Structure 1
């Protein structure tokens, strides 16, 4: 996967126009289509026509037309800080009217399975937290109750995020919403997309995958392959999926007043897999399923 990421980035950068230190690169109103790493974005980039590439701050941005809509595609990079940085850079450099994230995730809702595509209605940062002091053996002293937003996982007490809006107003919040109008479009296309059930090597899912719109997603800077933490995320946050970028992008979108939605296809079950983690087998199938839903979604946008 790392080699694929390097090759994809080099391909974009080789034909790219270097950007000046600051300033808008393109003022056409566009939908930003983002993925964390190259295999997630490949199908969407291949389907985009009229491509023009730029490099700014080390990130390759590609403008073009996807399903009849002007877009700018780029890789967020893996994990929260990378995702926040690249998303803000895109908002600063392009006329982004809405943000669409496409990628894979770990499933934490027991009712979901590998290959399913989820578009949560809101996102939280499950590791925005206080790591509590052990005040006696096996017991961790909780922080003040007004800071805690969910049941703890051992010493980890989840808290709200301190944000500053573009108008200077500050607040603390737990959830970062997807845009209701974009969720409505996702609902309309959810049943119209043919999703893959088998990999190119012939490994097939036990169930036909489906698209689920709504519910909660959580993000944090860790790859999770732990059944206990998975169960906690499902219980404490009523989460359907867990990933490493979406909540960061949702926070940037909220602060900038830009509509946002994320589509995440399950490549694994975050530690609930029946045996070894399934991501090495199904990450490309999951990436392609998410991309298929995003293409249908973009086509249905006004």
Structure 2
């Protein structure tokens, strides 16, 4: 019997970002909808549905809408990797989104740049309560699990020296940011930007329109510059997937 009232939808873009969660799930059942496998079961006592959205805003928005409409989730969590958009945010750090923006939305002159038409919003706030639980869970992971769950070799390979936790703005767009000049453009538009990725703000818009609490947590995999593709998948397999697994494990113990 589930011990929590939550039905939590967990989305990741790539299989490697969700490694271990489905094998940990009890009584898992697979439902295929829209060419995606939604795995429903019990994850550390939480009624949970895990799914891979694939890359990009349309893919993630469609996945979020399906979780809400077909699977009746009460909360949504997007976990995966992102590129750093601030010198203080380093590879191996964790960013929890307090707000999300679609950096490639521009319908001028009909609406202001970055504003999502007919919502009146350009920045979508994530759920403060879930973020508090995530903050505690991620802090406990970094303090108590990092040294035992990430090998010394991988900590050295990816320069994981005292990773830190950040909260702030994440920007999403259908563009893999891989140049310093493009990142500088985004920083001019959003001086408080911490990280860039390709899905979170689309999920935020869907959750806003359906009234579903959500959060986005990202492990920083690169610096969103010309070296971004170097060892990207290796980082996800050996670092980011471990971050996600143990942070969600710790989160499950905190949800009321």
What TM-score bracket applies, with the shorter chain setting the length?
0.7 to 0.9
CA distance in 1, matches of 2:170, 2:155: 30
* Contact 2:76–2:212 under 8 Å retained in 1: yes
Shift of 1:298: 2.7
User: What is the root-mean-square deviation of aligned Cα atoms in Å?
Assistant: 2.4
* Contact 1:269–1:277 under 8 Å retained in 2: no
User: Which structure carries more helix by proportion?
Assistant: 2
Size of the aligned set, in residue pairs, is: 245
1:91 maps to what in 2? 68
> Match of 1:255, SS?
helix
> Match of 1:299, SS?
helix
Residues 182 and 293 (structure 1 numbering): CA distance in 2 closer, same or farther, change over 3 Å?
Answer: same
> Match of 1:121, SS?
strand
With a CA cutoff of 8 Å and minimum separation of 6, indicate the structure with the bigger relative contact order: 2
* Contact 2:139–2:165 under 8 Å retained in 1: no
> Match of 1:173, SS?
coil
Residues 208 and 43 (structure 1 numbering): CA distance in 2 closer, same or farther, change over 3 Å?
Answer: farther
Q: Does 1:147 align with 2:124?
A: no
Residues 202 and 208 (structure 1 numbering): CA distance in 2 closer, same or farther, change over 3 Å?
Answer: closer
User: Which structure carries more strand by proportion?
Assistant: 1
2:255 maps to what in 1? 301
Which structure 1 residue ranges, 5 or more long, are not aligned? 1-27, 131-142, 149-158, 163-169
2:35 maps to what in 1? 58
Shift of 1:200: 6.9
CA distance in 1, matches of 2:33, 2:162: 37
Residues 209 and 88 (structure 1 numbering): CA distance in 2 closer, same or farther, change over 3 Å?
Answer: farther
Which structure 2 residue ranges, 5 or more long, are not aligned? none
> Match of 1:109, SS?
coil
2:55 maps to what in 1? 78
2:85 maps to what in 1? 108
CA distance in 2, matches of 1:185, 1:29: 14
* Contact 1:225–1:277 under 8 Å retained in 2: no
1:187 maps to what in 2? 135
Residues 198 and 270 (structure 1 numbering): CA distance in 2 closer, same or farther, change over 3 Å?
Answer: farther
> Match of 1:113, SS?
coil
The two structures have a TM-score, normalised by structure 1, of 0.74
Shift of 1:230: 1.6
CA distance in 2, matches of 1:87, 1:180: 19
